[in-house]
Amino acid sequence: MDVESRVPYAPLEQPPVRSYKWWSIGNILCCCLPLGLVAVYYSGQVEECLARRDIAGAKKASDTAKTINILALVIGLACIGFMIFYMVRNAQLIKSMATQTIKPPY
């Protein structure tokens, strides 16, 4: 084999595709359990596609995991905000009811 017929070897590098696994786990623990579980599933799909060298499938699963994580975070923060709002509101109602004096009917 002469020098001119050799093709230089270039190692195959996988482009960085994020799996968002830790964000998904955080959503399970703190924000929205059902959507966090779905996001963990898609994070696993990213890793499986990368193991098969299916870059297009990995990017699609990564985008899906990211979208679900954003949705879980927004829903979780909204639920936490509503809970805090209603707890403060109910505390004020209970405080105002406790300060009222009840007069006997006679």
83 pLDDT band (50/70/90 cuts)? Answer: very high
pTM across the whole model: 0.72
Task: State pLDDT tens for residues 87-102.
Answer: 998 888 888 877 776 6
Question: What is the C-alpha to C-alpha distance for residues 70 and 31, in angstroms, rounded to an integer?
Answer: 11
Fill in the amino acid letter for 86.
Y
Instruction: Please tell me the number of Cα atoms within 13 Å of 10 on its side-chain side.
Output: 4
**pLDDT of 85 higher than 60:** yes
CB 46 within 8 A of CB 19: yes
Question: What is the C-alpha to C-alpha distance for residues 15 and 24, in angstroms, rounded to an integer?
Answer: 21
- The two tokens of residue 68 are 């679900």
Termini Cα distance of the chain: 115
- Cα–Cα nearest to 20, from 5, 6, 35, 8: 35
